[in-house]
Chains A and B, each alone.
Chain A
Amino acid sequence: MSRVVRIAAGLVAAAAAVALVLVLPHWLSDARAAEFARAGCFFIAILGLNLLTGYTGQISLGHGALMAVGAYTTAILTANHGFRDLWTIPLAGLVAMGAGFLLGLPARRLSGLYLALATFAFAVAMPALLKRFSGLTGGSQGINLFDKALTRSTGALGPVHVLGRTVATNDFLYYLTWGTGLVLAAAAWVLVRGRVGRAFRAVRDSEVAAASSGINTGFYKMLAFGISGFYAGVGGSLFVLVSNWFVSPTTFAFDKSLLLVVGGVVGGLGSLAGMALGALFIQFVPSWAGNVSNAPGAPSVFFGAAIVLVMILLPSGLGGVLRKLTEPLTTRL
């Protein structure tokens, strides 16, 4: 019985989330809608990171680089191969999934900090790699779809017409990112409740115990990296669209990877709803810190202080608070 109640409560929460996402633009200015759309991209990438780190226990400091793979897939396909930008989004996810599997290879042998360092190397190397293969990636100038593929960039020239309605460009991008995000969140929810999710958690809790109960730990680690890469790729692909259809190596400097980890931890790894809060945190708190004071270095200090505060006051992250708030409700039901 309680299982049914929990699922029902989950559905209600999901319906509430969908409703919130739908109505929010009514209160948002054009510029704010664009910022929320960016947060939507982070949300998707952090969902992936959460599957990997929160559920499977594998640390990745290289997810910004996986986003870059997705972003460049979209940029290259749209600029040079005549694709419309929207159709490249799933392809970007698949290419980044491939990259995720490769990144997962060292995970078969490394664990903990050593794995973190290996993935971090990937993040640090990515901008240099993008500059090195400038024939494909446009080098340090990056790829500008707004110039090279203006008519294939949805919403670039003005409002978008969807189902007979006219939607302002930034509102459209907002719906696109958060709509995709909700679908992928639902997929993640289903995944972690199934057989694969159980295997992930078994690997996280004890590799030895997992292996002795017949779980192929190497396979599941790589699978987690691959699925996680898919999410990061989709997030990266959408990130090109919300960054004015423009991508360059500096878009995915290694600090993006760290930012994603911050988003995941602040949101509360292991909680799906918390990921949205984590995404909003890494989108809005740095710019808020910049408004407090723009003395050299001050914004970073404020941002750092905000992270430390969250960690001291809410050790289980923002998602943990959500759970605590809703728990009495669901248990009483």
Chain B
Amino acid sequence: MGKRSVLFGVVGALAAVSAASAGGSATPGVTAKQILIGGTTPLSGPASAYAAVAKGADAYFKYVNDHGGVFGRSIKYKYVDDAYDPSQTIQKVRDLVQNDKVFAIYNTLGTEQNLAVRSYLNQLKVPQLLVASGASTWGSDYKKYPWTIGYQPSYKGEATLYGRYIAKAKPRARIGVLYQNDDYGKELVAGLQRGLGKKAKLIVSKQGYDVTDTDVKSQIARLKSKRANTLMVFATPKFAIQSYSSARVLGWHPLVFVNVVASASNTMTIASLASSKRQTEGSISLAFLKDPINPRWTNDKAVKLFRTILKKYNGGEGLTDYYNIYGMSSAFTLVDALKHAGKSPTRAGIMRAVTHLNEQNNPFVLPGIVVRTTSTDHFPIAQARLQRYHNGHWVYFGPLVRVG
């Protein structure tokens, strides 16, 4: 016991010294040398394709750290696996907050997963930053949950755009909807109905699947049997790929709208291989980031930087992965906010910074997009372009539009 108390004394003294050198700030996770942030991501499980969202961000932080960090502090991003299971998210986030004492939770992936810990983080006043989910609640419920903010365009706004497009361009469509049976999928369905407006009766069938299901064969067969000619895929990547291959097996060739978090080029490439080129040709989706395999961006400065960073800090993996560039874009915004939070960042300070963004220079988003928030607008990215899949690539059509 004597040994122990000596040890505690030493640790305590060290902690006191480091706190003093940090300018007397007692902000958890912030020392003179480092800012510790944490988050969960599905490194395994049904949505493991999204692991690159954390890896891309981590690679970008390492790049920033090697270039001086933020006010001399390096950013340490501890991301842990939750297998896309909200129960595990709770456990891991509690661990990050209570035992690792992180400054903030950042970039945690998934709608259900973030909903699961939102009350907790707000109760303890721990920032829940740049949530990797497009549920509109992150941006619209900031009065109730002032410590939470999202990042990407809202799912509701996204699906509204598809609805409007169909109402205008395909007024005779027979729409079949495949959706993930949770808050994420349901929000997309609601957005579609809003966008269709009076034409909402064009929807002939809606089929939900659970994320724990093994496949979506029966849902796709039911949609086909309702003689739908337009298929909305509101899913996560694994199930989006299955939708294409199941439709092909049934000899069904609808026009496919695939939502943005399942339409990354790398996912579409796999979908084409799993079905056929004909099956994916003409699919429609939305874009707000530069797609690393789009030939249009091959010589773009930001995409070149993206490749350099991945080669140096991610073992050269994920050079074609859209989710890596998502992670980098998000990390860029966090670094930007940390700079605005000042030399002695506090939790309240970082919240002020992320709710007053005006980022015209984020290199990873499409040209023209401004990552912007105000005290009453908590949607950082709210612009995007429609795109169509053609010859193995996404091709933009139409102008930059507001997603809301």
Contact = CB atoms under 8 A, between A and B. Distances in A.
B181 A246 contact: no
Interface in A136-166: 139-141, 144, 146-148, 150-151, 156-158
Considering residues B90, B98, B123, which has the most beta carbons from chain A within 10 angstroms of its beta carbon? Answer: B90
Contact of A140 (B87, B119, B182): B182
A131 B91 CA distance: 24
Contacts of A147: 115-120
Contacts of B404: none
Contact of A146 (B120, B124, B182): B120
Contacts of B212: 140, 250
A30 B94 CA distance: 12
B183 A141 contact: yes
B120 A150 contact: yes
Given A141-B183, A144-B115, A147-B115, A244 B120 contact: no
B110 to A, nearest CB: 12
Interface string A234-271: 00000000011110101100000000000000000000
* Residue among B87, B115, B120, B123 having the largest count of chain A Cβ atoms under 10 Å: B87
B99 interface: yes
**Interface of chain B, helix or strand or loop or mixed?**
helix
B91 A244 contact: yes
Contacts of B182: 140-141
A141 B120 contact: no
A289 B111 CA distance: 32
A249 to B, nearest CB: 9
A158 B98 contact: yes
Contacts of B87: 243-244, 246, 248, 251
Contacts of B120: 146-147, 150, 156-157
Interface in A12-38: 30-31, 34
Contact of A244 (B90, B98, B119, B124): B90
Q: Is the interface of A mostly helix, strand, loop or mixed?
A: helix
Given A245-B90, A246-B86, A144 B116 contact: yes
Interface in B65-124: 86-88, 90-91, 94-95, 98-99, 112, 115-120, 123-124
A65 B371 CA distance: 49
A139 B118 contact: no
Given A140-B210, A245-B90, A146 B99 contact: no
A149 to B, nearest CB: 9
Nearest to B208: A140
A157 B210 CA distance: 30
A114 to B, nearest CB: 31
Given A141-B112, A141-B182, A146-B90, A30 B124 contact: no
B90 A157 contact: no
Interface string B162-182: 000000000000000000011
Contact residue range for chain B? 20 to 34
Nearest to A134: B181
B112 A146 contact: no
Contacts of A169: 94
B90 A246 contact: yes
Given A140-B181, A141-B183, A150 B90 contact: no
B308 to A, nearest CB: 33
Contacts of B183: 141
Nearest to A250: B212
Nearest to B122: A150
B99 A139 contact: no
A33 B403 CA distance: 47
B347 to A, nearest CB: 17
A71 to B, nearest CB: 12
B181 A139 contact: yes
Contacts of A34: 91
A22 to B, nearest CB: 19
Contact of B119 (A141, A150, A158, A251): A150
Contacts of A150: 119-120, 123
A185 B87 CA distance: 29
Contacts of A244: 87-88, 90-91, 94
Given A30-B99, A244-B87, A244-B94, A146 B117 contact: yes
Contacts of A31: 95
A146 B181 contact: no
A146 B123 contact: no
Nearest to A155: B94
Nearest to A148: B119
Nearest to A245: B90
Nearest to B211: A140
B47 to A, nearest CB: 15
Contacts of A246: 86-87, 90, 116
A298 B210 CA distance: 26
A251 B88 CA distance: 12
A2 to B, nearest CB: 45
A9 to B, nearest CB: 35
Contacts of A157: 120, 123-124
A158 B98 CA distance: 8
A151 B119 CA distance: 10
Contacts of B95: 30-31
21 contacts: A30-B95, A30-B99, A131-B210, A140-B212, A144-B86, A144-B90, A144-B115, A146-B90, A147-B115, A147-B117, A147-B119, A148-B119, A150-B123, A157-B123, A158-B98, A169-B94, A243-B87, A244-B88, A246-B90, A246-B116, A251-B87
Given A140-B212, A251-B87, 11 more contacts: A31-B95, A141-B112, A141-B183, A144-B116, A147-B119, A147-B120, A150-B123, A157-B123, A244-B87, A246-B87, A250-B212
**Nearest 7 interchain pairs by C-beta:** A244-B90, A246-B87, A140-B210, A150-B119, A147-B119, A244-B91, A146-B90
